[in-house]
Amino acid sequence: MSEERLNQKTIDDMASEVAHLHSTNTSPHSPSIHAAGTDQGDHAYFGVDQIACMEPIGSEFRRESFLTEFSQSRGPPQIVLLIILLALGFGSTIGVVPAVMTDRYARLNHDYSDQTYCADYSMNDKPKACLLGSADAQNAVAFEQLISNIFTFFTSSLIGSLSDEYGRKGILTLGVLMSTMSPLCLLLIQLRPEMSPFWYYTVGAVQGLISWITIALSALSDVMPPKWRAPSFGLLLAGFSLGFAMAPQLALILGHFYVTVVSLFMVLSGLLIVVFFFPETLRPETAREARRVREAQVEDLSASKLALSNILRPMRELSILNRNRLFRLLSLLAFFSGLVTAGDRTLLIYYIEERLGFGDKDIATMFMIMGVLGIFVQGVVLKLLNEAIGERMVVTLCFCLGSFHNLLYGLAKDKTTIFLAVAISAFGGMAFPTISAIKANNVNESEQGRIQGALFSLQALASATGPMLLRFIYHLTKDGAFLGPGSMFVVASGIYLIAVYCAYSLPDEANSLRKERPFADVDMDEPSSNMPLL
């Protein structure tokens, strides 16, 4: 809505109408509406055609600042601080883990006994035992990701639904608590030379039972209006990028052991933030509605059927993904993007250390590029693009960039090409918060956790198979077949092209700033004018 003068009677009538709509509208696709004077702040959100957030100044209205709304809401600032701490914790050891595990596997499995650390050799001088240890470490992390993502597939939607019924804080606390186990095990492995890496990868796999990022996104959806969910999720990832930009530098300064101590301290600090400072973002009435719906589904079941229903509940929660055409397309996007991003995230570090001679300094530079650009992209570019071209085209653009940067990974012969590809990947990172916003904007308040969890479950299924698929391709091509060892990333580039088609097929109604009628009135089983039939 453009700025215009309104008399006071019109303002009062509008506020009264908004208050009435807020108290009665529980449609799954109703716009987020809060009356002036509610617990969301002294302002009003208007839906769909008047989605801009405004506040009165005398007899004039002005557009409210997104950053002001974000910083003054209960929950989002704490979530960003948590994300920064966890990113610092996990990011500081991202180059440490491959080096430590490669050396440990070389000594335990391949009789390596030299005093020289495997990571201290140049790329062309590494003993065979160190190369075999690196292969063992890559296989172990791929298997860890497989188990972790299988757990996530079966539990994420259920955990999301439970958070809809009982609140976000308790489950988020448990998820962050489990995350402390990885840096603790990494520290113990460095203290005890006989300790097997098995324990590190085991606790990493178990963490797949509770996805804290799903709960964090649901908490943001609880308090932010639809128009600002994509930039809110982007700001969350900007916090993650900030942590990852700074974290690898710590390994250069402190060394592998002491940076692991710092990593554990950072994750424990994040746990304290959640326990003592994070407020419950789910409104009590929303939780009661979610519990009422759940109880209505099972009230007529016998004891045996109720037990069976509880066993099958994780799979039943996934049925939300088949609700309409939009959700089915989002499911395909989650699957294909998860397939590739998990492979990149899991295997790229090992690949560039082994094949291109990357060391701690190179990895720190790479994550500095990724982090600094990530902050700029998620904090500035995403909001501008979202307003200019809409979520559908933002997602399409992101997957085009994803295909290109994976192609560069596969063809890279030097470090400069990898740095360029990493820079491009920062722009492709806009896809995740944008997809999260689209799905959050198209369910009601009592389903925020469920939809975030359901799509995360599907992405986890893809993430479980992605590293294994790319490792299989690597084994087939590592000796020079096709395009050589980088062929796995070229295949990943092709998978991203399929995702480009799916993203372009999203209907215009996926855009939060659409001028069309509300989403609830659109028959999503009918193809839109720019949506190819699948």
Model pLDDT for residues 316-335, shown as the tens digit of each residue: 777 788 888 888 898 888 88
If one compares 311 and 191, the residue with the highest pLDDT of the two is 191
Of the chain, the percentage scoring pLDDT greater than 90 comes to 22
Q: What is the pLDDT of residue 514?
A: 52
Q: What is the pLDDT of residue 41?
A: 39
Residue with tokens 């554990």, as numbered in its chain: 264
> Is pLDDT above 80 for 265?
yes
Q: What is the pLDDT of residue 415?
A: 92
> Is pLDDT above 50 for 55?
no
> Is pLDDT above 80 for 101?
yes
Q: What is the pLDDT of residue 510?
A: 73
> Is pLDDT above 70 for 524?
no
Q: What is the pLDDT of residue 15?
A: 41
Q: What is the pLDDT of residue 306?
A: 65
Q: What is the pLDDT of residue 360?
A: 75
Residue 294's CB is within 10 A of a number of other CB atoms, namely 16
What's the whole-number mean pLDDT along residues 390-404? 92
> Is pLDDT above 80 for 336?
yes
At residue 398 the predicted structure's pLDDT band, cuts being 50, 70 and 90, is: very high
- Within 13 A of 181's CA, how many CA atoms are on the CB side? 16
Q: What is the pLDDT of residue 513?
A: 59
The pLDDT tens digits of the residues spanning 205-231 come to 999 888 888 888 888 888 888 878 878
Mean per-residue pLDDT over the chain, rounded: 78
At residue 344 the predicted structure's pLDDT band, cuts being 50, 70 and 90, is: confident
> Is pLDDT above 80 for 414?
yes
Task: Write phi, then psi, for 93 (nearest 5 degrees).
Answer: -110, 10
Helix and strand element counts for the chain (H, E): 19, 3
If one compares 336 and 53, the residue with the highest pLDDT of the two is 336
Contacts of 116 (CB under 8 A, 6+ apart): none
What's the whole-number mean pLDDT along residues 165-193? 92
If one compares 319 and 87, the residue with the highest pLDDT of the two is 87
Q: What is the pLDDT of residue 272?
A: 95
> Is pLDDT above 70 for 48?
no
> Is pLDDT above 80 for 417?
yes
Q: What is the pLDDT of residue 170?
A: 92
Q: Which domains does the chain have, with CATH numbers?
A: 8-64 (no CATH), 72-521 (1.20.1250.20)
Q: What is the pLDDT of residue 64?
A: 59
The pLDDT tens digits of the residues spanning 453-478 come to 787 778 778 877 888 888 889 888 88
> Is pLDDT above 50 for 440?
yes
Buried b (16+ CB within 10 A) or exposed e, 303-335: eeeeeeeeeebbeebbebbebbbbbbbbbbbbb
Helix (H) or strand (E) holding 45: strand 44-45
Q: What is the pLDDT of residue 467?
A: 81
> Is pLDDT above 90 for 487?
yes
Rounded Cα–Cα distance for residues 436 and 221 (Å): 9
The pLDDT tens digits of the residues spanning 61-74 come to 344 577 788 888 88
What's the whole-number mean pLDDT along residues 91-107? 88
Residue 54: strand pairing partners? 44, 63
